[in-house]
Chains A and B, each alone.
Chain A
Amino acid sequence: MNFNYKIILKTISFILLFEGVAMIPSWLAAFKYHETEVMWPLILLSLVSISFGIFFFKKLRDYNRKLTSREGFIIALLSWIIVSMLGSIPYLISIEGYSLADCFFESVAGWTTTSSYVIPSCSMTKSLMLWKATTNWLGGMGILVLTISIFPALGVGGKNIVSSELTGPELTKMSARISDTAKIAYEIYLIMTLIELILLNLGDMGFFEALLNTLSTVSTSGIFDTRGEIILNFSPYTKTVITLFSILASINFKVYFLMYIGQFSRAFKDIEVKSYLLILLICSLICGGALWYSGTYTNIFNALGAATVQVVSFGSTSGFSVSNISTWPTICQAVLIFLMIMGGCSLSTSGSLKAIRVMISFKLIVRGIYKRIHPRAIKPVLLGGNPVKASTATAVTVYIMLFFTMYAGGILLLSLENKDMTTTLTAALSAISNNGSGLGEISDGNYGVFSDFGKIISAILMLLGRLELYAVAVLFSRSFWKPDQVR
């Protein structure tokens, strides 16, 4: 088991530095809102973190070695765990009556952009609220980092799936290195954030509330209802803005790249985005129709509106709710659960399987029927006119199977909490798909119904989903621990 410990330490030091800096807005808010009991501890924590970070970073600064893929996985996994652990300290500092597991859960939910909670935001200090929102926002950015830079280097996900047009010549025209692509992604992310912030401020929200909600919706993490729920009790204008930006954050960022380099017509032709939006539309119509037909909403426009917002929320894996969806007609619940499994587009801040994988598996099924009829035919799977490579199709298949296998493990462990089946099944699904809300006892996203054990299992599932499964799956492979032994 020989890993390059120095590189790992160097990464950790960077995390300490980074997270310490991330805490600065929070203690500034504590200062502004006169929350003195928490301000000093936060400042202390922040400074300690930054100092340790700088210290170790400086010591290892000259240590630069290429990473193997194994080390890459370890680093990805460790980073998120350490970030979450460190990130739980502000919660411990600021609030009484919550256990270590609670704070860890809250931190993980923040960083993985899942909207579930155990600490209601109404009992948080303003600085803590800002910390949660900050972790949401940075978590969203972290996802972009993972999918654009890290996973392709490790040979997983993102790049292999997205049709190759962009990751070839165009990219090199735009930017010489992958890290530059990431920078462009952050710029886009930042611009989106600023625009939403401005728009929300124009509504009836105060600045602080608008800031919190912007940070969490642009990262598809949910909303900040300072009443402590995740139910959307905002004005129609605000709801519209939030819904719009949830969609924008959950479509494939490739579209934004294409627009950035001026290729607007190709941007609008992206097959994943088109299918994703179409699916959202169809689901909204079905749900809206059912809501109106069943009398849950008497006005057809209200019904469609509520349906659309809810559908977008689940499709983008944001996880906020317009009302208690447990009272909605079963067809709506079924549609929403399907959306939870599908998730948003690849290369966005959403989670779950991702639209492109669902599309590819659908095409594989259709081809499967065709091949039964004509066993000797050669029929490639086409996506938007481009053939999908066999290795990609295999990768998608493996991913989906792995997803459900890990989900199965999750529900088995969570079942020890002895909640009813619906709660258990949707709680695990919601966690692994980074959505946040479900049905049954967790329809409002409150995982406080579970014991510490259940919260930790859910937190692990959230991390699993965010890391796109492999980072944990490889831990189960013997060749990971003993690479010299060929198996």
Chain B
Amino acid sequence: MTINFHGVIKVLGIMLMILAVAMLLPVIVGFYYKEIFEIKTFFKVIIPCLILGVVLFHLKNPSLTKLKARDGFLIVSLTWIISSLVSALPFVISGTIPNYFDAFFEMCSGYSTTGSTILTEIEGLPKSMLFWRSFTHWLGGMGIIVFAMIFLESGVKGQLIASAETPGPTLDKLTPRFSDTARNLYVLYFVFTIIEAVLLMLGGLSLYDALVQTFGTVGTGGFSNYNNSIAHFRSPYIHWVIIIFMTLCGINFNLYFIAFKQSIKAALEDIELRTYLSIIAIFSLAIAAYILIIGYEHSIFKAVTDATFQVVAVITTTGYMTYDFDIWPTFAKILIFLLMFVGASSSSTGGGVKVIRIVVAAKFIKKGINKILHPNRLYEISIGDREIQQETASNIANFIFMYIATIIVGTLLVSLNNFDILTSFSAVLTCIGNIGPGFNLVGPTMNFSIFSDFSKLVLSIIMIAGRLELFTLFMLFSPHYYNSNKA
């Protein structure tokens, strides 16, 4: 029982073809803005990519239908890594980002929808390049794999691969065939994209600006084509549109279908959704109230807008900024810091630990305390009206430990770069949670250019690991993975 490498390669072939086609979009942008040099650069990557993709796809082999879960993990990991590697090429070749480590970091940040950037000066760069950079958020948001599954209906165990992407509480099966579910989710994703872009244009943005910002919102990424992120746009209308769409994309997408098929009330009963919305409400109000009370901010509307924007940006792991939270009083900063450990809802485009895991962990703790007092009583943890298996609860606990362990190891490695401990730590924290901004030297107004190539590489890996929920990537380092005969 080894890895079905032929099947893996075939799927990678599809992925490369999709990537090549995706790159045509920035080419169109390039034509519009007359960036001939950049267009040529893109074709230098598109053509080999397309050829290679077609070649790999046609590697004749009938064992394609037997992709197992194990293959799925490899496919997902390789897809993220290879997409980032290939997508970095246009930047390097065109000289927009000459250092390959930088470009790789930027692309990892794109596909993992983190939004951390090594660019110190964004606004002067070619528009097609910036468009491609933001488009990777959109692609990464829904997972390139799920993308591929729509076109590959025959026999591939698509569901197993996707569950590699979001393990933990399972995706409820909404339709009999997985590819139908995937298609529905994509329609929703498209709908959000179009509506937000339209709303932003109604607010005065150009189509280009609207699309860039929309990609970053809907993929919960955080890249902008302006140096000071969303703060560039002064209008509160724009801020609130983005707040709303960040929130929407941080919700479990399955709930939208439940709302559609059953009722909105049924969807609102989901405990993850309620926790998610409550956290947003409480934290936003807490920060807003605090900065008003201590006189830091005088306008109630601005306080609420800024607080809500930053809170939503961090919890959904988008990472956009309208106000530099690093200059807020410590109380507000600590609230933001704590949010970095929560993350968005499961089965959304956001990253982080995920709200449902926090909910289960809290119940786990409560059960633990009660057990001390009543050792002989039986307790079970339930979510809604379903009981959580011991297995699931311990998987969640394992995940949280793995998360902490990765942060610790990552911090140790990045601290070799000898920046202050808060910078090192928050850089790792923001990357594993796919958020974007950290504190101090990697704060919302700063960038990651200060780091060495080694640190950037470490952070790039951490970003992908975080996006793939850790185990998917780390499993590849276990000898058990490749040789199942080794017990």
A: residues with CB less than 8 A from B are 69-70, 154-156, 294, 329-331, 333-335, 337-338, 361-362, 364-365, 367-374, 394-395, 397-402, 405, 408, 411-412, 415-422, 424-425, 439, 470, 473-474, 476-477, 479-480, 483, 486-487
Shortest C-beta distance, B377 to chain A (Å), equals: 8
A334 to B399, CA, bound (A): 22
* A421 pairs with B415, CB closer than 8 A: no
* A364 pairs with B421, CB closer than 8 A: no
A483 to B330, CA, bound (A): 40
Q: Which of B57-65, B98-106, B401-409 participates in binding chain A? A: B401-409
A364 to B404, CA, bound (A): 13
Q: Which residues of A contact B375 (CB under 8 A)?
A: 155
Shortest C-beta distance, B120 to chain A (Å), equals: 22
A372 to B395, CA, bound (A): 9
* A374 pairs with B480, CB closer than 8 A: yes
A420 to B440, CA, bound (A): 10
Q: Which of B191-199, B229-237, B272-280, B366-374 participates in binding chain A? A: B366-374
Q: Which residues of B contact A364 (CB under 8 A)?
A: 397-398, 401
Q: Which residues of A contact B367 (CB under 8 A)?
A: 398
Q: Which residues of A contact B370 (CB under 8 A)?
A: 477, 479, 487
A422 to B334, CA, bound (A): 11
Q: Which residues of A contact B422 (CB under 8 A)?
A: 421-422, 425
B: residues with CB less than 8 A from A are 70, 73, 167, 329-331, 333-335, 337-338, 361, 364-370, 372-375, 377, 394-395, 397-402, 405, 408, 411-412, 415-422, 424-425, 439-440, 471, 474-475, 478, 480-481, 484
Q: Which residues of A contact B338 (CB under 8 A)?
A: 408, 411-412
* B373 pairs with A479, CB closer than 8 A: yes
The A contact surface, by secondary structure, is helix
* A421 pairs with B337, CB closer than 8 A: yes
* A397 pairs with B402, CB closer than 8 A: no
State the 5 A-B residue pairs at the shortest beta-carbon distance, nearest first. A398-B368, A368-B398, A415-B334, A330-B415, A334-B415
A474 to B366, CA, bound (A): 9
* B372 pairs with A69, CB closer than 8 A: yes
Given A364-B401, A369-B474, A395-B368; A401-B361 close (CB under 8 Å): yes
* B480 pairs with A373, CB closer than 8 A: yes
Q: B368's contact among A338, A394, A408, A418, by CB below 8 Å, is which?
A: A394
Residue of A with least CB distance to B331: A415
Q: A368-B401, A369-B474, A397-B401 are in contact. List 8 more A-B contacts (CB 8 A).
A: A70-B373, A331-B415, A365-B401, A365-B402, A397-B394, A402-B369, A411-B337, A422-B421
Q: Which residues of A contact B405 (CB under 8 A)?
A: 362, 365
* A373 pairs with B70, CB closer than 8 A: yes
Shortest C-beta distance, A237 to chain B (Å), equals: 33
* B481 pairs with A331, CB closer than 8 A: no
A337 to B415, CA, bound (A): 12
Residue of A with least CB distance to B333: A421
Shortest C-beta distance, A68 to chain B (Å), equals: 9
* B471 pairs with A470, CB closer than 8 A: no
* B369 pairs with A331, CB closer than 8 A: no
Q: Which residues of B contact A338 (CB under 8 A)?
A: 408, 412
* A421 pairs with B330, CB closer than 8 A: yes
Given A69-B372, A412-B338, A480-B373; A330-B480 close (CB under 8 Å): no
Residue among B374, B421, B424 with max Cβ neighbours from chain A (10 Å) = B421
Q: B421's contact among A417, A439, A473, by CB below 8 Å, is which?
A: A439
* A412 pairs with B334, CB closer than 8 A: yes
* B329 pairs with A418, CB closer than 8 A: yes
Q: Which residues of A contact B481 (CB under 8 A)?
A: 373
* B421 pairs with A368, CB closer than 8 A: no
Q: B478's contact among A155, A333, A369, A421, by CB below 8 Å, is which?
A: A369
Q: B471's contact among A294, A369, A439, by CB below 8 Å, is which?
A: A369
A411 to B399, CA, bound (A): 24
Residue of A with least CB distance to B487: A377
Q: Which residues of A contact B399 (CB under 8 A)?
A: 368
A371 to B392, CA, bound (A): 12
Q: Which residues of B contact A476 (CB under 8 A)?
A: 369
Q: Which residues of A contact B480 (CB under 8 A)?
A: 370, 373-374
* A156 pairs with B365, CB closer than 8 A: no
Q: Which residues of B contact A154 (CB under 8 A)?
A: 372
Residue among B167, B367, B471 with max Cβ neighbours from chain A (10 Å) = B471
Given A69-B372, A156-B372, A421-B330; A330-B401 close (CB under 8 Å): no
* A477 pairs with B364, CB closer than 8 A: no
A389 to B115, CA, bound (A): 43
Residue of A with least CB distance to B375: A155
Given A330-B415, A334-B424, A401-B400; A373-B475 close (CB under 8 Å): yes
* A424 pairs with B421, CB closer than 8 A: no
Q: Which residues of A contact B397 (CB under 8 A)?
A: 364, 397, 401
A397 to B421, CA, bound (A): 27
* A473 pairs with B369, CB closer than 8 A: yes
Shortest C-beta distance, B332 to chain A (Å), equals: 8
A176 to B226, CA, bound (A): 75
Q: Which residues of A contact B335 (CB under 8 A)?
A: 412
Given A365-B398, A424-B334; A155-B372 close (CB under 8 Å): yes
* A474 pairs with B372, CB closer than 8 A: yes
* A470 pairs with B401, CB closer than 8 A: no
Q: A420's contact among B330, B365, B374, B478, by CB below 8 Å, is which?
A: B330
A470 to B365, CA, bound (A): 11
A329 to B333, CA, bound (A): 25
Residue of A with least CB distance to B69: A375
Q: Which residues of A contact B365 (CB under 8 A)?
A: 398, 401-402, 405
* B416 pairs with A415, CB closer than 8 A: no
A/B interface sample: 29 pairs, CB < 8 A? A69-B372, A70-B373, A156-B372, A330-B416, A331-B412, A331-B418, A333-B421, A334-B411, A335-B412, A337-B421, A365-B401, A365-B405, A368-B401, A369-B402, A369-B478, A373-B484, A398-B369, A401-B397, A405-B365, A411-B334, A415-B334, A416-B331, A419-B330, A421-B334, A425-B422, A470-B372, A477-B369, A477-B373, A479-B370
Q: Which residues of B contact A395 (CB under 8 A)?
A: 368
Q: Which residues of A contact B70 (CB under 8 A)?
A: 373
* A373 pairs with B478, CB closer than 8 A: yes
Shortest C-beta distance, A377 to chain B (Å), equals: 9
Shortest C-beta distance, A155 to chain B (Å), equals: 6
Q: Which residues of B contact A370 (CB under 8 A)?
A: 478, 480
A129 to B284, CA, bound (A): 47
Shortest C-beta distance, A249 to chain B (Å), equals: 26
* B418 pairs with A361, CB closer than 8 A: no
Shortest C-beta distance, B329 to chain A (Å), equals: 6
A361 to B405, CA, bound (A): 10
* B421 pairs with A330, CB closer than 8 A: yes
A399 to B331, CA, bound (A): 26
Residue among B333, B334, B478, B481 with max Cβ neighbours from chain A (10 Å) = B334
Residue among A335, A401, A424 with max Cβ neighbours from chain B (10 Å) = A401
Residue of B with least CB distance to A419: B330
A487 to B338, CA, bound (A): 30
* A361 pairs with B471, CB closer than 8 A: no
A474 to B369, CA, bound (A): 6
A371 to B421, CA, bound (A): 34
Q: Which residues of B contact A155 (CB under 8 A)?
A: 372, 375
A33 to B136, CA, bound (A): 75
Shortest C-beta distance, A148 to chain B (Å), equals: 18
A373 to B471, CA, bound (A): 9
Shortest C-beta distance, B348 to chain A (Å), equals: 22
Q: Which residues of B contact A408 (CB under 8 A)?
A: 338
A330 to B428, CA, bound (A): 14
Q: Which residues of B contact A333 (CB under 8 A)?
A: 415, 421
A447 to B484, CA, bound (A): 55
Shortest C-beta distance, A158 to chain B (Å), equals: 13
Q: Which residues of A contact B440 (CB under 8 A)?
A: 421
Residue of B with least CB distance to A333: B421
A405 to B338, CA, bound (A): 10
* A330 pairs with B419, CB closer than 8 A: yes
A421 to B377, CA, bound (A): 42
* B471 pairs with A368, CB closer than 8 A: yes
